[in-house]
A and B are shown apart, each in its own frame.
Chain A
Amino acid sequence: MMKIGIVAILWGLLGTGFAEELSPVPTADEIARKANHMALYQGADSKGKVTMVIKDKQGRIRKREFTMLRRNDDDRDQDQKYYTFFQVPADVCKMVFMVHKHAALEKDDDRWLYMPGLDLVKRIAARDKRTSFVGSDFLYEDISGRSPDEDNHELIEMTDTYYILKNIPKKPDTVEFEYYIAHIDRKSFVPMKMEFFKRGHRLYRVIESVRLEEIQAQENGQKVTYPTVTESLVRNLANGSETKMIFSDIRYNLGLSNKIFTERYLRRPPRDAMR
Chain B
Amino acid sequence: MPCDEKKDKLWHALFILLLFLIPNCFESPVTAAEVHGNSFLGQFAPVELHGFFELRVGYRTQEDQHEKDISVMETRLQMELFTFTDWAEFKYKGDVWGDGITEQGEYATREAWFFSRPAGFLDIKIGRQVLTWGTGDVVFLNDLFPKDWQSYFIGRDKEYLKAPSDAAKISFFTELANIDVVYTPKFDPDRYITGEYLSYWNATQERPAGQKERVVADKPDCWFQDDEIAVRVYRNINNYELAFYGYWGFWKRPGGQTASGTAIFPKLNVYGASARGQVGPGIGNIEFAYYQSVDDESGSNPLINNSEMRYLVGYTQDLAKDFNASLQYYVEHLLDYPEYKERLAGGPARDRDRHVITLQLTKLLMNQNLELHLSSYYSPSDRDAYLRPNIHYKCTDKIALETGASIFFGEEPHTFFAQFEKNTNFYAAVRYSF
- State whether these chains interact: yes
Central interface residue in A88, A134, A135, A259, by most chain B CB within 10 Å: A135
The docked-state distance in angstroms from the alpha carbon of A262 to that of B309 is 31
B130: which A residues are within 8 A, CB to CB? 117-119
Instruction: Annotate A104-142 by CB proximity to B: 1 below 8 A, 0 otherwise.
Output: 000010100000011111011111101110111000000
Q: Which of B114-165 contact A (CB under 8 A)?
A: 115, 117, 123, 125, 129-133, 158-159, 161-162
A93: interface (CB < 8 Å): yes
Indicate whether A54 sits within 8 Å of B367 (C-beta atoms), given known contacts A118-B158, A128-B321. Answer: yes
The docked-state distance in angstroms from the alpha carbon of A104 to that of B268 is 47
Indicate whether A93 sits within 8 Å of B321 (C-beta atoms), given known contacts A110-B278, A117-B159, A135-B368. Answer: no
Shortest Cβ distance from B230 into chain A, in angstroms?
13
B322: interface (CB < 8 Å): yes
Shortest Cβ distance from A150 into chain B, in angstroms?
17
The docked-state distance in angstroms from the alpha carbon of A110 to that of B89 is 29
Shortest Cβ distance from B101 into chain A, in angstroms?
23
A263: interface (CB < 8 Å): yes
B194: interface (CB < 8 Å): no
The docked-state distance in angstroms from the alpha carbon of A262 to that of B130 is 20
B50-A119 in contact (CB<8A) = no
Indicate whether A91 sits within 8 Å of B394 (C-beta atoms), given known contacts A118-B158, A264-B171. Answer: yes
Shortest Cβ distance from B282 into chain A, in angstroms?
4
The docked-state distance in angstroms from the alpha carbon of A135 to that of B367 is 5
B368-A134 in contact (CB<8A) = yes
B400: interface (CB < 8 Å): yes
> What bracket does the count of chain A residues touching chain B fall in?
35 or more
Indicate whether A91 sits within 8 Å of B400 (C-beta atoms), given known contacts A117-B159, A125-B281, A241-B367. Answer: yes
A211: interface (CB < 8 Å): no
A15: interface (CB < 8 Å): no
Indicate whether A264 sits within 8 Å of B123 (C-beta atoms), given known contacts A110-B278, A118-B132. Answer: yes
The docked-state distance in angstroms from the alpha carbon of A262 to that of B241 is 11
B123-A119 in contact (CB<8A) = no
A172: which B residues are within 8 A, CB to CB? none
A123-B159 in contact (CB<8A) = no
The docked-state distance in angstroms from the alpha carbon of A158 to that of B340 is 82
> What bracket does the count of chain B residues touching chain A fall in?
35 or more
B324: interface (CB < 8 Å): yes
A90-B282 in contact (CB<8A) = no
Q: Which of B376-434 contact A (CB under 8 A)?
A: 394, 396-398, 400, 433-434
B260: which A residues are within 8 A, CB to CB? none
B158: which A residues are within 8 A, CB to CB? 118
A241: which B residues are within 8 A, CB to CB? 367
A56: interface (CB < 8 Å): yes
A90-B52 in contact (CB<8A) = yes
Shortest Cβ distance from B315 into chain A, in angstroms?
9
B50-A268 in contact (CB<8A) = no
A12: interface (CB < 8 Å): no
A130: which B residues are within 8 A, CB to CB? 321
A119-B162 in contact (CB<8A) = yes
B318: which A residues are within 8 A, CB to CB? 125-128
The docked-state distance in angstroms from the alpha carbon of A89 to that of B236 is 31
B84: which A residues are within 8 A, CB to CB? 274
Question: A243 — nearest CB in chain B belongs to which residue?
Answer: B367
The docked-state distance in angstroms from the alpha carbon of A120 to that of B398 is 23
Shortest Cβ distance from B322 into chain A, in angstroms?
6
B39: interface (CB < 8 Å): no
B394: which A residues are within 8 A, CB to CB? 91
The docked-state distance in angstroms from the alpha carbon of A123 to that of B276 is 8
B367-A132 in contact (CB<8A) = yes
The docked-state distance in angstroms from the alpha carbon of A268 to that of B133 is 14
B283: interface (CB < 8 Å): yes
B282-A125 in contact (CB<8A) = yes
B369: interface (CB < 8 Å): yes
A125-B283 in contact (CB<8A) = yes
B433-A89 in contact (CB<8A) = yes
B173: interface (CB < 8 Å): yes
B24: interface (CB < 8 Å): no
B367-A262 in contact (CB<8A) = no
B269: interface (CB < 8 Å): no
B317: interface (CB < 8 Å): yes
B433-A268 in contact (CB<8A) = no
Shortest Cβ distance from B67 into chain A, in angstroms?
27
A136: which B residues are within 8 A, CB to CB? 367
B: residues with CB less than 8 A from A are 50-52, 84, 89, 115, 117, 123, 125, 129-133, 158-159, 161-162, 171, 173, 178, 234, 236, 239, 241, 276-278, 281-283, 285, 316-318, 321-322, 324, 367-369, 394, 396-398, 400, 433-434
Additional pairs, 6, CB under 8 Å, beyond known A91-B394, A131-B321: A54-B367, A119-B129, A125-B281, A125-B282, A132-B322, A132-B367
7 A–B pairs (Cβ distance < 8 Å), ordered by A: A110-B239, A118-B132, A125-B318, A125-B324, A128-B318, A135-B368, A274-B84
A: residues with CB less than 8 A from B are 54, 56, 60, 62-63, 88-91, 93, 100, 108, 110, 117-121, 123-128, 130-132, 134-136, 241, 259, 262-264, 268, 274
Closest 7 CB pairs of A and B: A135-B368, A89-B397, A90-B433, A117-B159, A125-B282, A119-B132, A125-B283
